[in-house]
Amino acid sequence: MIRLFKLTKEERFIKWWEKQKQKGKHKYALVNGLVLGIAPVLGSIIGRIVNEYAFPSPEDYYYGQYVGILIIKVTIALIIGIWGSYSNWEMYEHRYKDLMSDN
């Protein structure tokens, strides 16, 4: 079936947010927190690998310290990502309620 009209930005948001709400706040925060938390860490790992292959030096082959720092980065990134997702939930919920009260 051909659509005769396009959904507005607000209508798309409402449809998307209703799907997110069905999944639940904790699942939303966990999934988005993992994505937001892991992406910078993956960038750090890729940067480290590229740096190792582009500019190899014998004293850089001690990875024990790097693994410890990587674990700290992952932990901090996950905490920030999950916390940010909970904050986004509240912001989106507020926007959703405002849009629904306007209708």
Asked if 11 and 100 touch (Cβ cutoff 8 Å), the reply is no
C-alpha dist (Å) from residue 43 to 29, 46, 54, 78, 81: 21, 5, 16, 14, 15
CA-to-CA distance for 32 and 18, rounded, in angstroms? 16
> In this predicted structure, what is the pLDDT of residue 25?
92
Residue scoring higher pLDDT (52 or 14): 14
Residue type, 26: H
Average pLDDT over residues 23-34: 90
Task: Retrieve residue 38's tokens.
Answer: 């892991």
Using the structure block, give the residue that is written with the tokens 């209703």: 18
Confidence of residue 15 (pLDDT cuts 50, 70, 90): very high
For 43-79, the pLDDT digits (tens) are: 888 887 777 777 666 665 566 667 777 788 888 888 9
For 53-63, the pLDDT digits (tens) are: 776 666 655 66
CA-to-CA distance for 82 and 100, rounded, in angstroms? 27
CA-to-CA distance for 66 and 72, rounded, in angstroms? 10
Average pLDDT over residues 9-23: 91
Average pLDDT over residues 26-35: 89
